[in-house]
Structure 1
Amino acid sequence: MSALAQYKVLPQISSGSAMALAVAARAPYAMIPLGTMTAVTASTGSVATGGLATAFTSIALAVASPLIGRWADHAGQRFVLSLLTPINALSLLLLVYTSATGTEGTLLWLACLLAGGTSLPIGSFTRARWVAMVGNNRQLSAALSYESTVDELVFVLGPALVGVAASAAIPVAPLIVAAALVIVAGIPFALTAPTRLDPMEAHTTRPSIVSILAAVAPAIGIMMCIGAFFGSVQTATTERALELGSPSVAGLVYAVMGIGSAVMALMAVAIPESVRTSTRVLVGGLGMMVFIVTTTAASGSLILTAAGLLITGLFVGPTMVTAFSVTEKLAPSGGTGVAMTSMQSAITIGVSVGSSVGGGLAATGAGHSYLFAGGAGLIIIAIGVALRVAGNVRRERTSSSSKFL
């Protein structure tokens, strides 16, 4: 069976309807931070208040995700999701109310904390299910590639949907849409979740959250850099479109990178297994750095900027797939839920950092924000080097031990 043909097996392992439900259920996760920013800024008339509200939401989301993952590892996905999903829907409706009425102070911050803290990392839960369900490494690679493609589309189209909903209706419309998706897709996703991925989980001695995060630290670093890359490129592209007098097309230009990234995430399954993980990380980071820095030179044309972003995206998707593969390999037994949800937290934190730092740099020129994104690619290269060195050390130890067997 060819590598790409592995995708045909996925609906047989997990039904097509379940896969579609998972896509719809994860959309609110990408919409809530920007939706909060849009709604609170419009209702209070203060960008600072909107930014602070978004920070409350994003931080709560990032901190809560690994804790939710640990809870799911212990109690099972169905119990945790069935309890938290309705709370998340109610929290979003409370945030809609505070935003629509221009409420500031304690109630607003509480609504932000609840909305972020109960946001469910559906993509991470789905990946944990694939790890438990698939039969071999090639199928797992296909499943993780598929999930990364969905994440790419959600993180690109989610913000676009926020913009469309806010401009076509009212500023709180994106939060209303997010709440509706939680109810319509999130609750069915929760009710159809497995009680436990492994019947032996209840008797498993689980490693501490700190030890799990330490074990998957390289993957977390990669995902934070990808998030920072997304955030800074989005602000840079918005600024460049503004500089060239076409601010309305900024989202479309930015989406081009997501298209290239999503396509290559699907194609990642075709990469031979003989290609080392560290090599994939090195090539991905190098491509991201080189081509986004090259995009700084396209300051006079949005078409050339879009072309640069398209090429850059070809390296982003496979790098994200590789990061999740690294997580699956490094996560200790009993820590899959925490490991996978920590990746979702990492990209959320990264996007926040990239948007804030990149936004400040973009004020002095879009090129500076693109260069910051290039720095994120450089850090990915450094992580790839570290993985290569660690892999070589393990091979040397294994080789030395085998001589005495």
Structure 2
Amino acid sequence: MEPGIYRSSAQEDSSRRPRTGALPGGRKARAVASTVTESRPGYGQLLRTPRAWTFLLPGFAARQPFAMLTISIVLLVQHTTGSYGIAGAVSAVTGVSMAMFAPFSGKLADRFGQRAVLLPGVLVHSASVLAMTALALSDAPLWALFVAAVPAGASTPQIGPMVRARWAAKLQDSPLAGTAAAFESVTDELTFVLGPLFATALCTTIDPAAGLLTEAGLTLVGGLLFAAQKSTQPKPHAHGAEHARVEHVSALRIPGVRVLIVTFLGIGAVFGGMQVSLAAFTESIGEPGLNGVLYGTFAAGNMLSGIACGAIAWKVSPQRRLLVGYAALTLMASGLWAAHSALLLAGLGLLVGICIAPALISGYTLVDKLVPPTGRTEAFTWLTGAVALGQAAAVTVAGQLEDRFWDGAGFLVPLGGTALAFVVLIALRSRLVPKAPGRTVARGVGHRTPVTVD
């Protein structure tokens, strides 16, 4: 064996440790190292990345339909049928289809390229949404709406994970990679807020079908423009012998990802419960136009909190931030059902919105720490799918509660969803701690046969 070819794990670990003693003034050197570690390039530097805007702008337009679809279906179907229960059921079929197909879409994009998945996807989605709109306006039977809801949900483009993958391919090991992760978390947050707000305004001020029609148009135009940016698209995974030796483990097999999925189901329950319950509340007091104002207040808290959380270079671990943020979210959601005035509901909605952003951003940050790079796109689609599934379930349950019980009973859904998810989060919080990198590398590399020491 030639000297210097193989190194022990202890040697590798020692070679990677920072050599603060090599610099004059040990304490000063450590302070400088700490400052460098904690600092992070700002959003402005990130947005000056060459060709970043070529996929950011169409990507932002194309990801809005993800958040517009559910509430647009609820408002249109409730208008044509008079039942929040039926509207919630149709919306739930869309959300379940979206959640089930999202990880599969991510795998296809990794294997064949984003463009190959997006081009047929946006065409199918737009056609399905237009068909659903026509069926709802023509008083078609319920089963027909369910049939149209399946492809509409399954073909919803997963733009958010695709944008993250483009950032990762473009920046790789750059210091801007962390800033990109924070920026995308904020963008996802804004999507979950602006989409429903925009759809609600269209449906209540223009026409009940305006939300779905706009959603279909944004998907088609934004999706095609995003797919056209081939230069920033990550290369599909190779299929040769070299690729065959790399084992790709599904993100779902990572325990921490499963805990995050449950956590994001609770967040989806807040979005879905708020959408239906606010619409029902404003209709019950004879002010349906107030729905946009109340949801806008909820959105304002969400957006401001998201921007602030994404800009801070946190010293607290994302695990602790997630626990604290989710505890606050559960506490704030517990008061929604008891609010009987628009002013009080606006105040509580603002606080709930402020608490959502830390939980969402911390969850997305944990994916970077828990999941290997080859599985992160799939992991992100699992989380976005969990939000869609939680939202769909919440819309269904909240619609039934509003139909069968008192006005405002649907607000019990955000409380129940976050409380159950918080219990799971507390019980399984240890699974969110990333495993320390092993001291043993692949077989035959860095391997030492133990010997007896006298």
State the TM bucket, normalised to the shorter chain. 0.7 to 0.9
For residues 141 and 310 of structure 1, what CA distance do their matches in structure 2 show?
28
For residues 348 and 203 of structure 2, what CA distance do their matches in structure 1 show?
29
Match of 2:57 in 1: 20
Encode CA deviations 1:159-209: one digit per residue, 9 max, x unaligned: 333333334444333222122112221111112156852566542645354
CA contact (8 A) 2:272 2:392 kept: yes
Kindly provide the amino acid, as one letter, of the partner of residue 293 in structure 1: S
CA contact (8 A) 1:72 1:337 kept: no
Match of 2:12 in 1: none
* Structure with a larger share of its residues in helix: 1
* Count of residue pairs the alignment pairs up: 398
Match of 1:266 in 2: 307
- Candidates 94, 101, 114, aligned match of 2:131: 94
- Candidates 277, 297, 301, aligned match of 1:256: 297
- Give 3-state SS (helix, strand or coil) of 2:418's partner: helix
Matches within 5 A, 1:282-301: 282-296=323-337, 299-301=339-341
Q: CA deviation at 1:93?
A: 3.0
Match of 1:114 in 2: 151
Matches within 5 A, 1:61-76: 61-76=98-113
For residues 73 and 200 of structure 2, what CA distance do their matches in structure 1 show?
12
- Candidates 328, 339, 345, aligned match of 1:305: 345
Higher Cα radius of gyration:
2
Q: Which stretch has the larger CA shift, 190-199 or 156-165? A: 190-199
For residues 409 and 178 of structure 2, what CA distance do their matches in structure 1 show?
36
For residues 392 and 329 of structure 1, what CA distance do their matches in structure 2 show?
9
Q: CA deviation at 1:323?
A: 1.1
Match of 1:317 in 2: 357
Q: CA deviation at 1:347?
A: 0.3
- Candidates 16, 24, 42, aligned match of 1:6: 42
Kindly provide the amino acid, as one letter, of the partner of residue 253 in structure 1: L
Match of 1:216 in 2: 257
How does the TM-score come out when normalised to structure 2? Answer: 0.76
CA contact (8 A) 1:228 1:376 kept: yes
For residues 15 and 277 of structure 1, what CA distance do their matches in structure 2 show?
27
For residues 287 and 415 of structure 2, what CA distance do their matches in structure 1 show?
24
Alpha-carbon RMSD across the aligned residues, in angstroms, is: 3.4
CA contact (8 A) 1:89 1:182 kept: yes
For residues 316 and 148 of structure 1, what CA distance do their matches in structure 2 show?
12
Q: Give the direction of change, closer, same or farther, for the CA distance of 1:39–1:213 in structure 2 (3 Å limit).
A: farther
Q: CA deviation at 1:234?
A: 3.2
CA contact (8 A) 1:146 1:265 kept: no
How does the TM-score come out when normalised to structure 1? Answer: 0.84
CA contact (8 A) 2:368 2:376 kept: yes
Q: Give the direction of change, closer, same or farther, for the CA distance of 1:136–1:295 in structure 2 (3 Å limit).
A: farther
Matches within 5 A, 1:86-235: 86-104=123-141, 108-134=145-171, 139-193=176-230, 197=234, 201-202=238-239, 203=243, 205=246, 207=248, 209=250, 211-212=252-253, 214=255, 216-235=257-276
For residues 283 and 175 of structure 2, what CA distance do their matches in structure 1 show?
44
Gaps of 5+ in 2: 1-35, 440-449
Q: CA deviation at 1:240?
A: 4.3
CA contact (8 A) 1:152 1:258 kept: no
CA contact (8 A) 1:265 1:321 kept: yes
Gaps of 5+ in 1: 399-403
Match of 1:355 in 2: 395
Q: CA deviation at 1:137?
A: 8.4
Kindly provide the amino acid, as one letter, of the partner of residue 184 in structure 1: V
What percent of counterpart residues are identical? 26
Q: Give the direction of change, closer, same or farther, for the CA distance of 1:302–1:166 in structure 2 (3 Å limit).
A: closer
Q: CA deviation at 1:8?
A: 0.8
- Give 3-state SS (helix, strand or coil) of 2:208's partner: coil
For residues 82 and 409 of structure 2, what CA distance do their matches in structure 1 show?
28
For residues 433 and 219 of structure 2, what CA distance do their matches in structure 1 show?
46
Q: Which stretch has the larger CA shift, 283-292 or 103-112? A: 103-112
Q: CA deviation at 1:284?
A: 0.4
Kindly provide the amino acid, as one letter, of the partner of residue 307 in structure 1: G
